[in-house]
Amino acid sequence: MEGNSSKSTEKGTNGTAEKRSSVSSSRKQSSVFMKYVRPCFAEFLVVLIFVFVGVCSVANASSFIPLVHGLAIIVLAFLAGGISGGHINPAVTLGVLLAGAISPLLALGYVLSQLLGAIVGAGFARVVLAKVVYENINGGAHSLGTDVTIGSAILAEILATSLLVLTVLMTAVDSKNKVPIAPLPIGFSVAVGIYGIGSVTGGSLNPARSFGPAVMGSYWSDHYVYWVGPILGAILASAIYRIVLASPDRLLFCKGSNVQPSHTDVELGSTARLP
């Protein structure tokens, strides 16, 4: 009787251990899915849509191209914001990484997903557009303006991208300044940036937006400009943010300072009286 009881207890213990192991394994799989797979897929999807819409808008040869890109960012950032943060741009991901708001592994996953999404989106645009139209716009790839030097082009991309990334950091990342309508100023910063430097570089601000069409259209003229400029712009913006503009918890220096700026007493939406 004692032997049977002992075996029964042992079986029960083993069964419980197996169940716990199964539950633990299931939780790990769920954690990996929620932490990595789901947000990376979201980035893939929104960049796919963004590049598709962007390339097709270029085919219209309209002055509203910058606005189309900006509005697309607003919609897609709202769509993916709660899942991945809605970066839609490797330069933005780099800026958020340097701001300390995302892990290097997840950032790498985002960038790879964004580049893949850009290629697929550009591929869809190639299928949809008439061949002659697609060829006339070089597959929607960016190109430098007439007589624009490489140095001028890179500087233009640095400045425009730094505006975008700084807007992202201040409205969507910073613990004290982020707002629920962050996609609006972010989208407008994209439109403003493209309007501002469109005649210089075509207005990329986004390596993925340039990369996908370059791959599908085999158009690589001065392509490195659209990597160097946005990357340096992201680094510049994150440096300004971490050194000067960030909340105390993200500042590189003076961390933990209890000194608060005088304007913090004025809440969003309140009316401040001028002297």
Give one DSSP letter per residue of the chain, joined into a string: -HHHHHHHHHHHHHHHHHHHHHHHHHHHHHHHIIIIIHHHHHHHHHHHHHHHHHHHHHHTT-TTHHHHHHHHHHHHHHHHTTTT----SHHHHHHHHHTTSS-HHHHHHHHHHHHHHHHHHHHHHHHHS-HHHHHHTGGG---PPTT--HHHHHHHHHHHHHHHHHHHIIIII-TTT--TTTHHHHHHHHHHHHHHHHHHH-----HHHHHHHHHHHT--TTTTHHHHHHHHHHHHHHHHIIIIIS-TTT-SSSTT-----GGGGS-TT--PPP-
pLDDT digits (tens, 9 = 90+) for 78-127: 999 999 999 999 999 999 999 999 999 999 999 999 999 999 999 999 99
**Does 51 score more than 80 pLDDT?**
yes
pLDDT digits (tens, 9 = 90+) for 167-196: 999 999 998 888 999 999 999 999 999 999
**pTM for this entry:** 0.84
- Domains in the chain with CATH codes: 36-245 (1.20.1080.10)
Position 73 pLDDT exceeds 80: yes
